[in-house]
């Protein structure tokens, strides 16, 4: 081995060490917040609803924050990897994490090293209800007829976006509330379930109206009921389940959070800046185009909601056999 | 006539062409860098389109998509490092050609096949979108299982010298593909407490390890010197006979790619691997697959670009994404006020045909940029191998990290590097491993999903015509492969 070979090897080894070492480094933070750019962790991949919301919000909030906001997609583990990264970051407000309902459901499965209350929510941004949808040519036109069909036809196949996902739980909640029995068919994401519905391979889906919008507008599928307080704007004839006599309010939500140890004044500043951005017309137009149903709520209300939903979600997951006891 | 006018007006706007060219250039770079996928390229460029009007915006994104899928093959051929999953199938013969000093030929064949694949795919898109989308919708869980089984039956064909070794590797690949959350019950399997493995074995770090890192580990990787010494012998363009020999393969792969791409559950990567395997299965007497066969470059290249056109079919006709890139594209279309789906053709047929034209010209631009870039790309051969390889190693590791911003993926890539090196030393082929990794999850998930639908009754696999045809084709391919091997001991 000559000298140049040795230099080449040393460089490779040094760079590898640097790669490992960068994780151990923590940036020293002092002075008033924000004194450098803010990182917004999105635990889901680029291009999805969470990502679009994060990027739209970052764009709208940058001028007021006075610092750049970088969206970083830290994905994996159904969101767990991103949540862990958000919790491991220094609690100085320079790392904000987008949280979703999976923050509650993942710890219940007992497979991730965190609990939802390790995050301090600062703002709820959006909520998407679950909607029960069937093909447009389906003989059932109302939820009543759907129930009859369901009872007559043994078990209907209801597609969802994956085991333990919010839409799986939505179907289970519906089945429980209306005493129906479903054959739950998990797909790798809501769009795959909708495709299978349009292709006639399954009987119904429980996903968000946004994920059904193009099919509704094209007259391919129809919504029989929505698990929200209000009807869906682009399917005004579809009733809510509350109207139908089943007071079901269920769906996914997205919001922002920082680690619990973050100082209160930093949290207040973040809440102020991001609320202003979230209430801007710029973001409202963006969310409308992207099919995101904005539903803003303060950090304290949001924290209360997360706390209340935990027990509810735990009981559904238990019924679905998704909680593993050690 | 009115539609034609609208297409013409859109096409004569300089903005559209600039956006398309910019998209193609950006896409090539995204595709060529391992860890930056076509999906990420499109997603990251969406914010840049906010201030553009609709056609330039769509042209930019379509340009990125089409070019990124081709761009992945550049490092696959030059450095044995696939830039995108779909380009992994190009390595088997493309990298051998490059090692022989025929990188220019491999790159040109790739570009030419990609052009033909893209054009055929787009023409099918224009002419048969309603028919193909109806056919694609008939693909439910049993059909996807049958498609995956058909693909897996090709293991014999791609096992190189020993079927036994090929099978060992393939079964190992199937086992690895079961790592992660159970797709139907959500129970985590073989993850040993690692949240990073919950979504399954990440494919790109595995590719980076099996090829790029294994290459560096094998002693040849860090030898000094460069491959440009025989500059005079480098064939920059394929010979006429190469083109003639590959034409049937290119045509077949283009049709296959379009159909596979059009099914909403399978994308370009599956199309590329199927096309490569089928080409190998049907190898003629003079074909030397695995030893630098141009058909081995042509087949996956044609299929994967045709696959991109195919994936546009369910996107435009049904408003349903065919793969992860088109899922992002749908979001972008909606942001720009275009709602893909049956209504697009009814209410905005001019726009729909403008999109078709954009796809067509995107493929042509990709070809022009690719061919004119060959000369520049070949310069990398003049760099000392040691510096080149360490550069690739660093880029690969960064790529493994960049995909999910997850350090665990870097360790996985390194582990796969050791595995790839061991396989190479032991004479085990890598192709069956990749085929199993790509098709394993598709097969498992859909087998079990189909059984949920049928209530556990296996008859569902013989009651549906497409399923039966695909399963029989798989069995036939298996026996054909075995019989051929017996006839010609190698």
Query: What domains, with CATH codes, occur in chain A?
Result: 33-127+252-319 (3.40.190.150), 131-226 (3.40.190.10)
Range of the domain at B345: 2-487
Give the whole-angstrom CA distance, residue A193 versus residue B170: 29
Per CB-CB distance under 8 Å, the chain A contacts of B386 are 4-5, 8
* Chain B interface includes A4 (CB < 8 A): yes
Residues 288-347 of chain B whose Cβ lies under 8 A from any Cβ of chain A: 314, 318-321, 324, 327-328, 330-331, 334-337, 339-343
Q: Which tens digit of pLDDT belongs to each residue from A286-304?
A: 888 888 889 999 999 999 9
pLDDT along chain A (326 residues), means of 10: 80 83 59 84 83 89 90 82 89 93 89 89 94 94 94 89 89 93 90 91 93 86 94 91 93 95 94 95 87 91 93 89 71
Residue B460 confidence (pLDDT) above 70: yes
Q: What is the Cα–Cα distance from B275 to B249, expressed in whole angstroms?
A: 9
Buried b vs exposed e over B379-417: b needs ≥16 C-beta within 10 Å?
A: ebbeeebbebbbebbebbbbbbbbbbbbbbbbbbbbebb
Report yes or no on whether pTM surpasses 0.90.
no
CB-nearest partner of A322 from B186, B314, B342: B186
A305: how many CB neighbours lie within 10 A of its CB? 17
Judged by a CB distance cut-off of 8 A, whether residue B393 touches chain A is yes
A47, A155, A215: residue with CB nearest B331: A47
The Cα angle at residue B71 between residues B51 and B408, in degrees rounded to 5: 90
Q: Do B405 and A11 touch (CB under 8 A)?
A: no
Q: Is A79 on the interface with B (CB under 8 A)?
A: no
Does A75 contact B40 at a Cβ distance shorter than 8 Å? no
A192 touches B at CB < 8 Å: yes
pLDDT in tens, B217-259: 886 555 555 554 444 345 567 778 888 889 999 999 999 999 9
Query: What residues form DSSP beta bridges with A297?
Result: A124
Nearest CA in chain A to B41: A46
- Chain A contact set for B397 (CB, 8 A): 16, 19
- How much is the average pLDDT of B420-430? 92
Q: Is the pLDDT of residue B77 over 50?
A: yes
Among the partner residues A16, A47, A81, nearest to B43 by beta-carbon distance? A47
Q: Which residue would you say has higher pLDDT here, A197 or B192?
A: A197
**Residue listed under structure tokens 């090539």:** B28
Q: Which of B39, B126, B22, B34 is nearest to B332 (CA)?
A: B39
Residues in chain B, overall count: 490
pLDDT on residue B260: 93
First to last CA, chain B: 60
Q: Say whether residue A290 is in contact with chain B using an 8 A CB cutoff.
A: yes
State the total domains in chain B.
1
């Amino acid at each position: 081995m000559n000298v140049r070979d040795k230099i080449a090897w040393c460089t490779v080894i040094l760079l590898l060490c640097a790669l490992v070492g960068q994780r151990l480094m923590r940036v020293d933070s002092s002075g008033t917040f924000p004194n450098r750019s803010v990182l917004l962790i999105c635990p889901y991949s680029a291009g999805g609803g969470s990502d679009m919301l994060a990027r739209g919000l970052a764009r709208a909030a940058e001028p007021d924050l006075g610092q750049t906001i970088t969206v970083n997609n830290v994905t994996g583990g159904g969101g767990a990897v991103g949540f862990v990264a958000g919790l491991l970051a220094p609690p100085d407000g320079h790392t904000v994490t987008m949280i979703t309902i999976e923050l509650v459901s993942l710890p219940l499965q007992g497979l991730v090293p965190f609990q939802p209350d390790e995050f301090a929510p600062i703002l709820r941004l959006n909520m998407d209800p679950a909607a029960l949808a069937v093909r447009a040519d389906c003989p059932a036109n109302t939820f009543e007829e759907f129930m009859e069909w369901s009872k007559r036809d043994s078990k209907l196949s209801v597609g969802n976006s994956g085991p333990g996902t919010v839409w799986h739980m939505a179907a289970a909640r519906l089945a429980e509330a209306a005493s129906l029995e479903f054959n739950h068919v998990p797909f790798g994401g809501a769009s795959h379930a909708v495709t299978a519905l349009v292709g006639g391979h399954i009987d119904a889906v429980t996903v968000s109206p946004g994920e059904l919008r193009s099919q509704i507008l094209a007259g391919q599928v129809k919504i029989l009921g929505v698990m929200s307080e209000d009807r869906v704007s682009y399917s005004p004839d579809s009733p809510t389940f509350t109207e139908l006599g089943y007071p079901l309010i269920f769906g996914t939500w997205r919001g922002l959070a920082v680690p619990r140890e973050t100082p209160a004044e930093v949290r207040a500043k973040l809440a102020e800046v991001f609320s202003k951005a979230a209430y801007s017309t710029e973001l409202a137009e963006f969310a409308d185009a992207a099919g995101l149903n904005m539903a803003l709520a303060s950090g304290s209300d949001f924290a209360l909601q997360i706390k209340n939903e935990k027990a509810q979600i735990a009981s559904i997951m238990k019924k679905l056999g998704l909680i593993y006891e050690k | 006539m009115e539609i034609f006018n609208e297409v013409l007006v859109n096409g004569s706007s300089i903005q559209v062409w600039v956006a398309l060219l910019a998209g193609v250039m950006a896409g090539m770079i995204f595709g060529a860098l391992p860890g930056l996928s076509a999906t990420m390229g499109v997603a990251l460029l969406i914010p840049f389109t906010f201030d553009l009007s609709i056609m330039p915006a769509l042209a930019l994104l379509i340009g990125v998509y089409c070019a990124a899928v081709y761009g992945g093959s550049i490092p696959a051929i030059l450095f044995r490092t696939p830039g995108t999953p779909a380009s992994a199938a190009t390595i088997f013969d493309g990298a051998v050609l490059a090692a022989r000093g025929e990188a220019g030929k491999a790159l040109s064949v790739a570009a030419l096949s990609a052009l033909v694949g893209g054009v055929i795919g787009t023409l099918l898109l224009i002419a048969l979108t309603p028919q193909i989308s109806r056919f694609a919708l008939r693909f439910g869980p049993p059909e996807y299982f049958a498609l995956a089984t058909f693909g897996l039956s090709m293991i014999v064909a791609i096992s190189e010298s020993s079927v036994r070794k090929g099978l060992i590797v393939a079964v190992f690949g199937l086992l690895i593909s079961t790592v992660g959350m159970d797709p139907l019950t959500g129970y985590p399997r073989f993850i040993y407490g690692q949240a990073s493995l919950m979504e399954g074995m990440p494919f790109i770090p595995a590719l980076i390890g099996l090829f790029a890192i294994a290459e560096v580990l094998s002693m040849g990787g860090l030898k000094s010197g460069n491959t440009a010494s025989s500059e005079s012998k480098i064939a920059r363009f394929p010979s006429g006979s190469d083109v003639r020999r590959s034409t049937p393969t290119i045509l077949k792969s283009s049709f296959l790619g379009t159909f596979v791409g059009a099914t909403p559950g399978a994308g370009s990567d599956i199309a590329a691997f199927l096309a490569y395997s089928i080409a190998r299965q049907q190898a003629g007497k003079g074909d030397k697959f695995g030893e630098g066969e141009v058909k081995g470059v042509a087949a996956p290249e044609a299929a994967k670009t045709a696959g991109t056109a195919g994936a546009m079919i369910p996107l435009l006709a049904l408003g349903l994404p065919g793969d992860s890139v088109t899922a992002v594209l749908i979001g972008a279309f909606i942001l720009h006020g275009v709602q893909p789906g049956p209504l697009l053709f009814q209410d905005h047929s001019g726009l729909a045909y403008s999109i078709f034209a954009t796809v067509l010209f995107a493929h042509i631009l990709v070809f022009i940029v690719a061919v004119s870039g060959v000369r520049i790309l070949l310069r990398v051969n003049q760099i000392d191998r040691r510096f080149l390889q360490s550069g690739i190693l660093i880029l690969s590791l960064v790529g493994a990290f960049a995909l999910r911003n997850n350090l665990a993926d870097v360790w996985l890539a390194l582990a796969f590097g050791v595995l790839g090196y061991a396989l190479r030393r032991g004479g085990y082929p890598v192709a069956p491993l990749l085929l199993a990794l790509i098709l394993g999850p598709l097969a498992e998930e859909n087998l079990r999903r189909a059984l949920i639908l049928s209530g556990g009754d296996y008859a569902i696999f013989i009651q549906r015509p497409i399923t039966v045809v695909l399963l029989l084709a798989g069995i036939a391919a298996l026996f054909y492969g075995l019989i051929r091997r017996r006839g010609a001991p190698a």
